[in-house]
């Protein structure tokens, strides 16, 4: 057969196969254009900035929630179930009522000892992002 590699004395089969592999057409891979790379970097920078803004807002919300709780509950309020005075406060989440007509932003206040959790109305507490004119 004409396609068969010529037999060369002293050459190993692996060498012949390796040389033949160089002639096999390679699958073409589309290289990224420089503008694609720039767009991806810009998108990544926007995502990082958005994540940082969200983190900062959540930090402000938690601080506002803790201040509000101290003003309304007083400092050192004890858990009604285990009497622990230590609570953790989380950022608000919007809860949709089962009829779907109304949604309520609530932030969690959890006892760090027993896990008892209370949900507080973020709008009533004036939490940034949910205060007057904020989202609801």
- Which stretches of the chain bind Zn ion, using CB under 5 A? 79, 81-82, 84, 111, 113-114, 116
- Taking the complex as a whole, the smallest distance from the CB of residue 91 to Zn ion amounts, in Å, to 21
How many Å apart are CA 50 and CA 130, to the nearest integer? 18
Q: Which is nearer to Zn ion, 48 or 82 (CB)?
A: 82
CB-CB contact of 86 with 112 (8 Å): yes
Q: Which is nearer to Zn ion, 40 or 114 (CB)?
A: 114
The residues near 79 (Cβ < 8 Å, ≥ 6 apart) are: 85, 87, 111, 113, 114, 116
- Taking the complex as a whole, the smallest distance from the CB of residue 80 to Zn ion amounts, in Å, to 8
- Taking the complex as a whole, the smallest distance from the CB of residue 130 to Zn ion amounts, in Å, to 26
Q: Which is nearer to Zn ion, 20 or 115 (CB)?
A: 115
Q: 54 φ, ψ to 5°?
A: -65, -40
């Amino acid at each position: 057969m004409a396609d068969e590699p010529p037999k060369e004395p002293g050459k190993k089969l692996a060498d012949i196969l390796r040389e033949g592999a160089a002639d096999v057409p390679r699958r073409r891979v589309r290289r990224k254009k420089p503008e694609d790379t720039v767009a991806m970097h810009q998108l990544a920078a926007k995502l990082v900035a958005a994540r940082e803004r969200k983190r900062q807002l959540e930090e402000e919300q938690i601080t506002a929630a803790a201040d509000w709780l101290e003003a309304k509950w007083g400092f050192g309020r004890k858990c009604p179930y285990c009497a622990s005075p230590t609570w953790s406060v989380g950022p608000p989440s919007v809860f949709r009522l089962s009829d779907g007509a109304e949604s309520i932003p609530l932030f969690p206040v959890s006892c760090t000892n027993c896990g008892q959790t209370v949900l507080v109305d973020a709008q009533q507490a004036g939490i940034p992002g949910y205060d007057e004119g904020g989202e609801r």
